[in-house]
Structure 1
Amino acid sequence: MSTLQGRTSWQVTRSVWFAMFMREAVSRTMADRMGWFWMIAEPMALIAIMVLIHGINDGGSRLLTGADLIPWMLVGMMGFFLTRESMMRSLGAVDANKALFAYRQVQPVDPVLVRVYLEGLLKTFIFLLFVLGGLLLGLNIFPDNAIRALFGWLSLWALGLGLGLVVSVTGTLIPETAKITRMLSLPLLILSGVLIPLNVLPHSLLEYLMLNPIVHGLELMRLGFFDSYRVTHGTSQIYLWLWILALNALGLLLHTRFRERLKAQ
């Protein structure tokens, strides 16, 4: 179907996404002078704290098989932040762009897709900076299997998109769910095996933690970075992608079903 200007629907959609992307990119990177600093400082501060707790030579390294402590933590943190921030940025995407819904070309799902895409680009750039910095410092952080590591990174990105699509609808229509989602952000950092190897936990507890799809994504990405790394028992690529497909399908269905309510909310 063509528009009155002779452009196809896909061309109109691309124009909308590009305009929203530029708006979000400028707002995210230029509005706050400290924005870039905090993107880099947060994982660095967490790594420094955990290294002090574990100890570089004895405490943490003995808990890992086939990976060094600092690179292992860095890969896990960046993968987790990619998923978490994609979800958290999606929470306010609909409300922040409500004025744009006066244009019929703009749909509530558009700001969610644009924000997750932008978040992925920013996190990828920052992650590459950390990898480069680690290599200059002599850390073993270059991926042993780049294809597997990239696939794990993209899988976590897709998982964040699915979570973002769902919470952007539920958080807008039911504000209490947005508060719950924000409250779960910190516990997820611990329960996803970002800072502590889950292999050291009792099996009775581990079988429940392995229900969390983020764990599977992080472990698969770590395996791409460290060929000899022993992943947590029960890690499954199929399980991860069942979650990704289910969440993305559910999120798109929710946006289609409640599109008019989201516009009027």
Structure 2
Amino acid sequence: MSTMQSRTSWQVTRSVWHAMFMREAVSRTMADRMGWFWMIAEPMIMIIIMVFIRSFIRGGSNFIIGADFIPWMIVGMMGFFLVREGMIRSQGAVNASKALFAYRQVHPSDAVFVRVYLDGLLRTFVFLLFILGGLLLGLDLFPDNAIKALFGWLSLWILGLGFGLVLSVTSTLIPETAKIISMLTMPLLIISGVILPLNMLPHYLLEYLMLNPIAHGLEFLRAGFFEHYRVVHGTSETYLWLWALALNALGLLLHVHYKERLKAQ
């Protein structure tokens, strides 16, 4: 008589992630019919607005060394939205998967991992559409150093996961923090150098703004797209990854410590 082989912990986790991914993917792509529209329309509307504003700044001349304004802004905007999705959408991941916690194999952190992974895939697809559309319109949107650009994109993805792990705990235990984070996304977009270069600011402000790891990630991503682009002084890949690894470690520790409270919340 043959005995049933027991599965390893990794096999169980992989099965859980696959099932949750399919559930989340169907919910995101089928239930919300306007989801795809807004993922594409939001950056397009912002680009149009910023191009219009730029026409009144410095007489329309290019004030970014080594890159054209529109491709520079598109790359930064897509990178920022990747991190922002990890921050914002992860806050509701635990509550959205509450019914699944009846199964002991499912943990609150699984919901965050799956949601950030899916959001990253969707944002990557949208970014590729913008790159293709930009090339068809004659914009310089093909990365000069594809490996560096890919690593920069991955770095921002991991940073967004770190923020998501931490904020998914705080927003579930203290719901008011979700509203605060939502209000901070617009100021964060400005101080991260998404729509206007940080090099335009005085040095005494710049040294404080460069404490923001998102700014380092966006500059690193742009450096991969534009070979002659002059990154903001003080940009550091090490600083970016220290933040990413620290946030992921803190987020995992919080999930382990508050696992039962998150399930019962």
With the shorter chain as reference, the TM-score category is: over 0.9
- Cα separation, 2, equivalents of 1:115 and 1:235: 29
Question: What is residue 55 of structure 2 aligned with on the other side?
Answer: 55
Q: Contact 2:155 / 2:217 at 8 angstroms: preserved in 1?
A: yes
The aligned residue for residue 214 of structure 2 is 214
| CA RMSD, 1 decimal | 1.4
User: So what's the TM-score if we normalise by structure 2?
Assistant: 0.96
Q: Using the TM superposition, name which of 6-15 and 253-262 deviates more.
A: 6-15
Q: C-alpha offsets along residues 207-245 of structure 1, whole Å, 9 cap, x if unaligned?
A: 111010000000000000001001111111111011001
* Superposition deviation, residue 12 in structure 1: 1.2
Residue 60 of structure 1: how far off its partner (Å):
5.6
Which amino acid is 1:136 matched to? L
CA–CA distance in structure 2, aligned partners of residues 188 and 114 of structure 1: 25
| Shift of residue 32, structure 1, vs aligned partner | 1.7
* 8 A contact 2:62–2:68 mirrored in 1: no
Aligned match of 2:93: 93
Q: Which residue of 2 is the match for residue 146 of structure 1?
A: 146
8 Å Cα contact 2:51/2:70 also seen in 1: yes
Q: Which residue of 2 aligns with 1:245?
A: 245
For 1:74, give the aligned amino acid. I
The answer as to whether partners of 1:61 and 1:69 remain within 8 angstroms in 2 is no
Letter in 1 for 2:223: L
Matches within 5 A, 1:1-265: 6-55=6-55, 59=59, 61-265=61-265
Segments of structure 1 that go 5 or more residues without pairing to the other structure are none
Partners of 1:58 and 1:72 lie apart in 2 by 17
C-alpha spacing 1:217/1:60, structure 2 compared with 1 (3 Å): farther
Contact preservation (8 Å) 2:83, 2:160: yes
TM-score, structure 1 normalization: 0.96
Following TM superposition, the consecutive aligned residue runs of length 4 or more in structure 1 with deviations greater than 4 angstroms are 56-61
Per-residue displacement from partner, 1:104-136 (whole Å, max 9, x unpaired)? 010010000000000110000110010011111
> Structure 1 vs Structure 2: percent identity of aligned residues?
76
8 A Cα contact 1:73 1:194, kept in partner: yes
Closer, same or farther in 2 for the Cα pair 1:207/1:59, shift >3 Å? farther
- Superposed CA deviations along residues 147-191 of structure 1, whole A, max 9, x for unmatched, are 110010000000000000000001111112222111111111111
Q: How far is 1:6 from its partner?
A: 2.1
The structure-2 alpha-carbon separation of the partners of 1:247 and 1:61, relative to structure 1 and needing over 3 Å to count, comes to farther
User: What number of residue pairs does the alignment pair up?
Assistant: 262
